[in-house]
Structure 1
């Protein structure tokens, strides 16, 4: 597991005031590469292994992440809350970036969002795949995602263009207000609701979501989008 001190990381030019938090479940084939790429920019990465059975925790630790393990699979919402709570408690933490484990997010987008948060003094920056034309989710998936946006906006009172994007930048103040109870995919709406209630300044930033055969199989399929919409309705 990576043990580089904050002073050493600072001298190497890494960002030491931002924590990357990654919910992790059975991503052993890709998580090492995701963490290694993030480690080129950020000193602190924490993965919450949510009961994986494929060696994901070991792969993440070998690549340089701190790993917290759930003994049982509790769901992505639970893993995200554990990771955020851990990061908030770390000395010197100023911002937290939520990042997916499957390689669908781009670090350049995360860096741009973090810069916006700092320069515009935003406590919350949501990533949106619908603010530019880099992402092509397909017609049916776009319809489902846009429907989910509508439901989320009515529920939360915010006016987002993409309600279920896992790439977010949060100040410690914003992150400390979160207490996620939805363990399944409905946590994506719950986090928007709780952040909206803080009244803290927020914005949206364009991001690209990289749809690959792997990411689709791991949760970016049309069926999964429909499941998210179902979770929204029943919750």
Structure 2
């Protein structure tokens, strides 16, 4: 059985057409109404979807968690947004790599073969930052880390922890999949940007919140980068400043060694941070081997 999961929040204008379009390619459609105040749930039912209602808004991650739990007996799960951004006619593109046993998870990418001219420039800049952070945290090579148009083999369901309740879930699921060694493949998709697309979230606030969560998770996923890189930078800066201040002292330009001492302390602190990253990296690799 192929199941489509559609998280929805106040999308009464588009949810009906999204459900009807998805039904042409899957055997079951589950709409998780995440505390909508409009007729989203009612219209989704009229269109033929199974509807699960959250009594209050909990976020996209929570909606996906509910949907995955309800679809745990599915052979393949497809996720897509409820605002009409994803063309349901492209669902077979996501299904094919799983059906042919080429992938365990398929990510629909707007940027697989280059720039998406329909994406606003400011949003694409933020997207690039989030892609880089996600790829660094998960040791991935994904071109569209924030895509909500994806397909998953049924056996992958236990891999995902759904710790994030909000939009950070897109990056979290990719990182979880990478850590579990799943085969991840990207396929090209086209996005439809209507005037109401992403109208509920401030793009800057959304991007910053996702980035901060990715960086926080990097502490556990990639400690060598989280601790080691800043530590090395501190060491380099400390050494340069120490040499500069000490040379200035020897030439008579300064009557105190305090600046030199402070720079030396920065070097020592940076060394400590860098070694912390190295130790945590070694521990995480040992844990992975044990698993």
TM-score by length of 1: 0.85
Match of 2:36 in 1: 52
Separation (CA, whole Å) in 2 of partners of 1:33 and 1:222: 29
- The range that moved more, 159-168 or 224-233, is 224-233
> 1:116 corresponds to which residue?
97
Q: Which segments of 5 or more consecutive residues in structure 2 lack a partner in the other structure?
A: 218-291
Q: Which moved more, 1:118-127 or 1:73-82?
A: 118-127
Aligned residues: 216
Pick from 171, 182, 191: which aligns with 1:200? Answer: 182
Match of 1:12 in 2: none
What does 1:139-158 correspond to in 2, within 5 Å? Answer: 139-158=121-140
Which structure has the bigger radius of gyration? 2
As a proportion of its length, which structure holds more strand?
Answer: 1
**Aligned residue in 2 for 1:31:** 15
Distance 2:63 2:210 in 1: 17
2:64 is matched with: 80
Structure 1 equivalent of residue 3 of structure 2:
19
User: What is the Cα-based RMSD across aligned positions, in Å?
Assistant: 1.9
**In 2: Cα distance, 1:111 partner to 1:135 partner:** 24
Structure 1: 5+ residue runs without aligned partners? Answer: 1-16
Q: Is the counterpart of residue 41 in structure 1 residue 22 in structure 2?
A: no
Contact 2:18 2:88 in 1 (8 A): no
Following superposition, which runs of at least 4 residues in structure 1 exceed 4 angstroms of deviation? Answer: 219-223
TM-score (norm 2): 0.69
Instruction: Work out the CA distance in 2 between the residues paired with 1:118 and 1:218.
Output: 35
CA contact (8 A) 1:30 1:103 kept: yes
Q: How far off is 1:138 after superposition?
A: 2.3
